[in-house]
Amino acid sequence: MSVKTWNLIKSSRSFYIRTYRSLETMVLISVFISLGLGIGIFYAYSIRTEPDYYSTYGETPPVPLVAMDEPNYSSHSLLADDNNQDSNVRAIPQ
């Protein structure tokens, strides 16, 4: 084998080595980014607060509601009656 052929083989192999190492680096960076985003999503999901529920229909200020684990099976209502519903005159909300 001549020196020229040997140098050509070495340069061809070094091309494959450089390509493999650069792809390996890109894959490792992608894995770390994916892990970081996954941990961030899990953290954001785990620190969520309990949602607040409100009852309103536009004419009165919102009434805070309490979340229940099961439906209301009792015969009495959970909210007090609204006296404004008896009149036919409705105020335009501003």
DSSP 33-47: HHHHHHHHHHHHHHT
pLDDT of residue 68: 80
pLDDT of residue 15: 84
Is residue 16 situated within a structural domain?
A: yes
Tokens at residue 71, please?
Answer: 């439906």
Which stretch of 29-33, 55-59, 88-92 has the lowest confidence by average pLDDT? Answer: 88-92
User: Which one is predicted more confidently, 21 or 53?
Assistant: 21
pLDDT tens-digit series, residues 9-44: 888 888 888 899 999 999 999 999 999 999 999 999
Is residue 12 situated within a structural domain?
A: yes
Structural domains in the chain (count):
1
Domain span at residue 20? Answer: 1-67
Is residue 25 situated within a structural domain?
A: yes
Is residue 83 situated within a structural domain?
A: no
Q: Which residues contact 60 (CB under 8 A, 6 or more apart)?
A: 82, 84
Query: 37 φ, ψ to 5°?
Result: -65, -40
Is residue 73 situated within a structural domain?
A: no
pTM beyond 0.85: the answer is no
Tokens at residue 11, please?
Answer: 């340069």
On the question of pLDDT at 60 being above 60, the answer is: yes
What residues pair up with 55 in beta bridges, in sequence order? 63
